[in-house]
Chains A and B, each alone.
Chain A
Amino acid sequence: DIQMTQSPSSLSASVGDRVTITCRASQGISNYLAWYQQKPGKVPKLLIYAASTLQSGVPSRFSGSGSGTDFTLTISSLQPEDVATYYCQKYNSALITFGQGTRLEIK
């Protein structure tokens, strides 16, 4: 099975900072990679699909990049409402896998 490893597992940043979260696949998955945001007690929300396509309605400060095995989610200017846990997900085959999550806090 393909494993998805996110880093860091948690991070703290200041409002206005540029934040980058990394997701690495144990084998190549082309661009079959999605990113989700989950706020405490809430349902996960799709941010990015196909590695770099912004889901409708998602603020443009979120962006995704990568292909193959290495992917990044970037928040260009961190806002207080971005406090959440972020998950990557690979969907290149019938077996779906999520990363373990990255908890993002405001410093």
Chain B
Amino acid sequence: QVQLVQSGAEVKKPGASVKVSCKASGYTFTSYGISWVRQAPGQGLEWMGWISAYNGNTNYAQKLQGRVTMTTDTSTSTAYMELRSLRSDDTAVYYCARDSSGYSDWGQGTLVTVSS
């Protein structure tokens, strides 16, 4: 079965960077893109961007352009999302999701807390 397993919770100071991983199994990694979605406490879902696991092409949400980088390692079937210059409003649960027609498979979520 398809599984997306994310790295553990992080606590960061404002201005720092965080890199979240998402290890995929149960399907051919390069056949699907990976999207990243975040959810601030008590808020809705916010799409952050997408990466093709086939060729590394990316699309990022405009508000995160310049601060976010998504990458993949096809040798380990792992996707990564790095967010830089963290602010308090980046505190959220970060999800990876397999990009099919809609997101049928999600990681368990990674809580990133930004606090001084």
Contact = CB atoms under 8 A, between A and B. Distances in A.
Nearest to B97: A44
B29 to A, nearest CB: 20
A22 interface: no
B66 to A, nearest CB: 16
A43 B35 contact: no
Interface residues of B, number: 20
Contacts, number: 58
Interface stretch (A13-21, A65-73, A75-83, A86-94): A86-94
What 7 pairs across the A-B complex have the smallest Cβ distances? A34-B102, A49-B102, A94-B59, A96-B47, A49-B101, A98-B45, A101-B44
Interface of A: 1, 34, 36, 38, 43-44, 46, 48-50, 53, 55, 85, 87, 89, 91, 94-101
Given A1-B62, A49-B104, A94-B50, 18 more contacts: A34-B101, A36-B45, A36-B103, A44-B37, A49-B100, A50-B101, A55-B104, A87-B44, A89-B103, A91-B102, A94-B59, A95-B61, A96-B35, A96-B50, A98-B45, A98-B46, A99-B44, A101-B45
Interface of B: 35, 37, 44-47, 50, 59, 61-62, 95, 100-104, 106-109
